[in-house]
Amino acid sequence: MNWMIFKRMLVAGGKNFTRGGAVSAATVLIMTVTLAIIASLIFLSALLSHTLATISEKVDVSVYFVTTASEASILAVKDQIEKLPQVANVIYTSADAALAAFRARHATDQLTLQALNELGGNPLDASLEVQAKDPSQYESIVSFLEASPALSSGGTSIVDRINYAQNKEVIDRLSLAIRATREIGLAVVILFAIASILIALATVRLAIYTAKEEISVMRLVGASNLYIQGPFIVTGIITGVISAVVVLLLLGPATWYAGEKTVGWFGGFNVASYYADNFALVFSILMLSGIVLGAVASVLAIHRYLKV
């Protein structure tokens, strides 16, 4: 294809869009709704990811050590755990820090504080709080600790207990929820993508229907399929680009209005901040989606008219 033919396709595509009038406006409107759905899926995916990450951060496994364990031995265990690829973070809490935190939590409970003072010592153990990169990996971390117990100089284990058994049900439910959310989210994206293509196809087909006689004449005089399809593909791309721009402009005030509300409803997730921070990503997805939908819908819609 030489530059002259390509230029004619661009010019013809622009003329098709402007001559379409109400039909072109209706196509842009439907495509705008379609891209708005895609934008909603982007924000929904980000919201779900934020929510799951927040919940995951609140789940951990605590490893408690015997009161005779030295700090050096505990920190050595901490170093071993941190080297595991499944581990995201390990926090060490000394026995003294645990006692101070306990007193702070029960500052108004004089009966509990009095009972603690009567013990004459620190009954609390030092501990490590282990956070995994994925909730499904806690079991392998616990298996490592049980298979490689930390020993004292006397040959006895310095690990008193691991609270994995108490948290196992919560961790399993969270792992199941994460998997289900990801699978359902993928299914929803695919469903809306198919619906978007069908909607775009229907509206573009309506626009091309008005030019079916012109297409038939061009086909009869020997015009190639590419030469016939080119202007309509350009028209579809113009429609997609304009629709994407409209959605991007509408997202500004929409996310600004919803931003403060989403912070309160969804644990700190600000949709306006997400849009500002990820504008390049949203712009790319919507613009590419508009171009692809417009072009693909045009190709599919005009195909039936290429047969004389």
Q: For residues 278 and 256, what is the distance between their CA atoms, to the nearest angstrom? A: 14
Measured distance CA(48)–CA(37) in Å, rounded: 16
**Residue 246: which pLDDT band, with cuts at 50, 70 and 90?**
very high
For residue 137, the 8-state DSSP code is G
Our count of domains for the chain comes to: 2
For 119-160, what is each residue's pLDDT tens digit?
A: 667 777 788 888 888 777 888 888 887 777 665 555 567 787
State the number of CA atoms in the 13 A half-sphere of 258 facing the CB: 17
Is the domain of 89 the same as that of 49? Answer: no
Domain shared by 51 and 189, yes or no: yes
pLDDT of residue 105: 78
The two tokens of residue 56 are: 């995951």
pLDDT tens-digit readout, 154-202: 556 778 788 776 666 666 676 677 677 667 767 776 776 677 667 667 7
Q: Does 83 map to a domain?
A: yes
**Angle (CA) 180 186 190, round 5°:** 145
Q: Specify if 223 maps to a domain.
A: yes
CATH of the domain at 155: 3.30.70.3040
Instruction: Give bridge partners of residue 87 from the DSSP assignment.
Output: 132
Domain boundaries, position 44: 3-55+175-306
One domain, residues 99 and 244: no
Residue 215 lies in a domain: yes
The stretch 48-66 carries a mean pLDDT of 75
The 10 Å Cβ neighbour count of residue 287 is 18
User: Is residue 169, in this structure, part of any structural domain at all?
Assistant: no
Residues 286, 208 within the same domain: yes
- What does DSSP assign to residue 125? P
The model's pTM is 0.63
Quick one: 280 and 193 in the same domain?
A: yes
Question: Do 63 and 49 belong to one domain?
Answer: no
